[in-house]
Amino acid sequence: MPVSFLILLILAVDLLSKYLVRAYLAGGPPISVIGEFFTLTYVENSGAAFGLLSQKAYGPAILLFFALLFTLGLIYLLRQLQYEPLRWGLALVIAGSLGNALDRALRGFVTDFLTFKFGDWYFPSFNIADSAIVIGCILLAALILWDHQAQAELEAIFVQDKKGPRHG
């Protein structure tokens, strides 16, 4: 599967899930999936991860700017990579970043809805895009730590030799 298809598939699933949540959960009570452990709960997150910067009037605009800048950098890197596992990990991060950036650009907030609770403690609500970002980052970290082919390709891209940086 080409990474562009993976990005579009995750982006479509993310945007569709957010649309359905806004259409059917906004203003209503949470829906129990597994008792109180896992619920679908409509949340408007105007901040970054876990609501950071949500209290600032300029927060959403700053977050959108940096998310788009970050995503453009990742797309540039993706175009340089040849090793498929690295490309897939990066594609997951790009898809998630685009999903949340589109939501923020269109609404001024990100729609979150997956909520887990363990006794009195709960994990802040998140969405499909957030999941893609986390899974992509875990994959990339594992590749960087333990995959010699991934390490060699990244070193060729980021480490300058006597001839200068790699172009292409």
Q: What single letter denotes the amino acid at residue 68?
A: L
CA 146 – CA 49 distance, rounded (Å): 28
Contact 130, 100 (CB under 8 A): yes
Residue 149 phi, psi dihedral angles, 5° rounding: -65, -40
Instruction: Show the tokens assigned to 81.
Output: 């990579």
Name the catalytic one among 14, 103, 120, 130: 130
Nearest to 81 by CA among 139, 8, 15: 139
Instruction: Show the tokens assigned to 163.
Output: 């001839």
Residues 6+ apart with CB under 8 A from 150: 83, 85, 86, 143, 144
Name the catalytic one among 14, 103, 112, 147: 112
Question: How many other CB atoms sit within 10 Å of the CB of residue 35?
Answer: 8
- Mark whether 112 is an active-site residue: yes
Active site residues: 112, 130
